[in-house]
Chains A and B, each alone.
Chain A
Amino acid sequence: MIATQQAINMFVQETGGWAASQLEACTRCGMCAEACHFYQSSANPEYAPVWKLEILKRAYEQRFTLVGKFKTAIGIDKKITDQDVAHWSELNYYACTVCNKCAMVCPMGIDLGTLLHTVRSGLAAAGMVPEDLETAVMKQVIEGSPLGMTASVWDSRLEWVADEWEVDIPRDVKGADTLVVFTSIEVMKFPTNVAAIAKILNAAGEKWTVSSSAREVVNFGFYEGDQEHEKLFMRRLFDGAKELGVKRIVVTECGHAYDALRFHAPNLLSEANDYEIVHITGVMADLVKSGRIKLQEGFYDNVGTLTLHDACKIQRKGGYIQEPRDILNIIAPKSFKEMTPNQEEAICCGGGGGVIAIKAADPIRYDVFTLKIDQVNKIGANMVTMTCSNCRLQFTDCMDHFKLDWKITGLAQMVADAMVE
């Protein structure tokens, strides 16, 4: 029962008027189910967003309301058990990407994503985080990166990238304006992205730098829901930024990292608001708009049909909805075609929220991707671009799994290629 107790304790701590008023507002209409790609692809009613929240709602009622206390006392409401905690751990970590799509359709406007994050906090406090995810978190605590990107690995990788693509990557430059923080996914798996971003910023004449201490922007503590870990990883970034004296932190193509840094950090660490925190998508759009970089119009018009996958945490939760479209309308005005639904209502790739890191969730994750396959096939696209490397990881993994031959790419890479000197 200790696990349960810790989960409930965390729920009790985290539930204030903000959460309570929304828990009270839910009418149990079930409409959020239709929004969730996990429910859509499996028809498993337990994947309804509101049901993933059930454990938090029960804790709230049983601990904070007179009626709930009374109902638990006489046995109408069952107390939360260890089995419940374990069950909701699976529901939340395996079958939720915290994409916040459900909040779009809830008629009461409940901000489900944030509440689901709170559920994770409780589960994490109870030590009920899936093993794979927990291992990755610990790796980030100890080595500084869940993908094992230690300082020396980082060093040699960046050197190699600079060599291979012949770009200058300014490192640990004190007094630079902008600190760019990459994800280990990019550095280890999509190095072209690193090169591309460096190329773009150099071409624009940005005074930028990377930092060897603030080298990993991925935040597995955020996936997990453990605030201490979350803060630890953020602090590493802010410490690095402080050391170099930068004004601005640019998050590269990683959704959850941007979400964590832009929208969570200010409430966890006071220094967060010392910096302007932006996503590379916004930076690129600004550079194009101000003419600091020039793109060749129609550069991609001969690639067939190109589409944009909206990343939940950069588009729906990050607000960069028009920016990537502005860019694509320059470099691929003819070949770019929208999927439906798109923008805020886009369907999540299914790999976010740490799901892709959990082996046991693989079948669920692949199931969800079938929705994406349908979407892409409907418009007959053969090339998909996106602004999040975690989505990109899911896409490339699913290319293998489903034997698809679409070309998967990142937006920064496309911009870099289409730049005219």
Chain B
Amino acid sequence: MDGKSIFDELKEKGVSRREFIKLSGAIAGAIGLTSFPSVEAQAGTSARFPRAYQPAQLVAKALASKPRIPVIWLEFQDCAGCSEALTRSESPTLVNLVLNMISIEYHETLSAAAGFQVEEAKRAAMEKYAGQYLLVVEGSVSPKDGGIYCSIGGRSSVDILEEAAAGAAAVIATGTCATFGGLPKAKPNPTGAVSVMGLIKDKPVINISGCPAIPEVFTGVVAHYLVFGTLPALDSLNRPTIFYGNTIHDRCLRRPFYEAGKFASSFDDEGARQGWCLYKLGCKGPTTYNACATLKWSGGLSFPVQSGHPCLGCSQPDFWDGGGFYQGQSAPLSKPAGTLGAMAAGAGVVLGVGSALANKQQKKNAKKSEPGEKGGSHELE
């Protein structure tokens, strides 16, 4: 990080100008840039591109002028799956490009160094880039019982996060663990896991949910930050709307079958072979906001629903507790356990019998208080 621009660094790696422009276009596409004036204004480039405004050129210009962004990557209660997904992404050009736009100063799993050495490096980076670095968090935080369930180098995850967040320009929570608590927070949540957003209140936290988060979405967000210097527009769960604006169901290729009411009833029936809708097999697509159906996975090859598996709803809060994965979405999340139902039934019966007894007594009293000889009254039938 010595003042060199990203383009300079790319040139050193042998990327030609031609390739560079092409990649810029790809990035522009990834972050959803199209020609609209507000983007121009945002970038403050209207003077340079007075007429024919080109998104790719906008990106290229940013890459050519801006230095790489320092990133500190923290992992807490996670499985490193999000990191894995990013580094093993099958759209290497794009992701590599973005990885080239950042300089990862600290990453538990990727750093070659270890122990106090790497902790020291982190402290140094935090000092050097105070107020400039992006903090990426993977995994949920555990404040319960003094933080004993997740600590690194003798410090609790809460401490580490708060310290790192203090000097960050922005915080990116990647993966559903970090964004909403994810698997560690699943009932009964033994470690009292909370999301990053649940702890950091004084900084913008941008959520890139998914289990794991889609690498292209992560890189898209970083590229956006790089190009514009700002975070993209967010939804009510702090997720960038460019990627989380639609549900899986909205963009699903099986949707026409849903509309026609054609459902696969098992994974190997005729419906499944015909590619019918997976609603009955538990698809959570209708309530799941993510970009799987458009960006897809494995370099745009496929995504779960396309491959015949219902959407699990992995980018939504509490998806582990959102009903069985293979249970239709309309099914209730919990049904009264046998004993509870029996108790309710029992309570109803007791109440009913009590009422009936009281009412019988009332009937007897009514007969007694009847003036004159009114015995032998019979209910008419």
Contact = CB atoms under 8 A, between A and B. Distances in A.
Given A64-B355, A64-B362, A66-B355, A118 B380 contact: yes
Contact of A228 (B355, B359, B374, B380): B374
A12 B366 contact: yes
A202 interface: no
B373 interface: yes
Q: Residue among B351, B363, B372 with the most chain A CB within 10 A?
A: B363
A12 B380 contact: no
B359 A9 contact: no
B366 A13 contact: yes
A13 B373 contact: no
A19 B370 contact: no
Interface string B333-362: 000000000000000000100010001001
B377 interface: yes
B378 to A, nearest CB: 5
Contact of B359 (A10, A19, A64, A121): A64
Contacts of A235: none
A9 B377 CA distance: 12
Cβ-closest 8 pairs across A and B: A12-B366, A9-B366, A16-B379, A13-B366, A64-B359, A267-B378, A13-B377, A18-B381
18 contacts: A9-B367, A10-B366, A12-B363, A13-B367, A13-B370, A13-B377, A13-B379, A14-B377, A14-B379, A15-B363, A16-B379, A18-B379, A18-B381, A19-B379, A63-B362, A228-B374, A264-B380, A268-B378
A330 B369 CA distance: 57
Contacts of A365: none
A227 interface: yes
B146 interface: no
Contacts of A264: 380
A346 to B, nearest CB: 24
Given A6-B371, A228-B372, 4 more contacts: A9-B366, A9-B369, A267-B380, A268-B378
A37 interface: no
Interface in A1-37: 6, 8-10, 12-16, 18-19
A63 to B, nearest CB: 6
A80 B266 CA distance: 61
A125 interface: yes
A9 B380 contact: no
Contacts of B359: 63-64
A42 interface: no
Contacts of A13: 363, 366-367, 370, 377, 379
A66 B379 CA distance: 23
A9 B378 contact: no
A117 interface: yes
B370 A14 contact: no
Nearest to B374: A228
Contacts of B355: 64-66
Contacts of A15: 363, 379
Contacts of A8: 366
A18 B363 CA distance: 15
A264 B377 CA distance: 12
B337 to A, nearest CB: 27
Nearest to B369: A9
A340 interface: no
Given A6-B371, A64-B355, A227 B377 contact: yes
A135 interface: no
Q: State which size class the interface on A falls in.
A: 20 to 34
Contacts of B381: 18, 114, 267
B379 A10 contact: no
Interface residues of B, number: 18
Interface of A: 6, 8-10, 12-16, 18-19, 63-66, 114, 117-118, 121, 125, 227-228, 264, 267-268
A68 to B, nearest CB: 11
A15 B359 CA distance: 10
Contacts of A18: 379, 381
A335 B378 CA distance: 47
Nearest to B371: A6
Contacts of A10: 366, 370
Interface in B90-120: none
B380 A14 contact: yes
Nearest to B381: A18
A117 B366 CA distance: 19
Nearest to A5: B369
Contacts of B380: 14, 114, 117-118, 121, 264, 267
Contacts of A125: 370, 374
B148 to A, nearest CB: 51
A285 B119 CA distance: 111
A261 B312 CA distance: 72
Contacts of A268: 378
A63 B365 CA distance: 12
B293 to A, nearest CB: 47
A224 B374 CA distance: 15
A228 B377 CA distance: 9
A254 B274 CA distance: 74
Given A64-B355, A267-B378, A12 B371 contact: no
B373 A228 contact: yes
A18 B379 CA distance: 9
A268 B374 CA distance: 12
A89 to B, nearest CB: 18
Nearest to B351: A66
A19 B380 CA distance: 9
Contacts of B372: 228
A16 B378 CA distance: 10
Nearest to B364: A13
Contact of B370 (A6, A16, A65, A118): A6
Given A63-B362, A64-B359, A64-B362, A9 B370 contact: yes
Contacts of B370: 6, 9-10, 13, 125
A12 B362 contact: yes
A17 B43 CA distance: 80
Contacts of A267: 378, 380-381
A327 B362 CA distance: 52
Interface string B65-86: 0000000000000000000000
A9 B374 CA distance: 11
A13 B374 CA distance: 11
A13 B378 CA distance: 8
Nearest to A12: B366
B318 to A, nearest CB: 37
A267 B370 CA distance: 20
Q: Residue among A12, A63, A64, A65 with the most chain B CB within 10 A?
A: A12
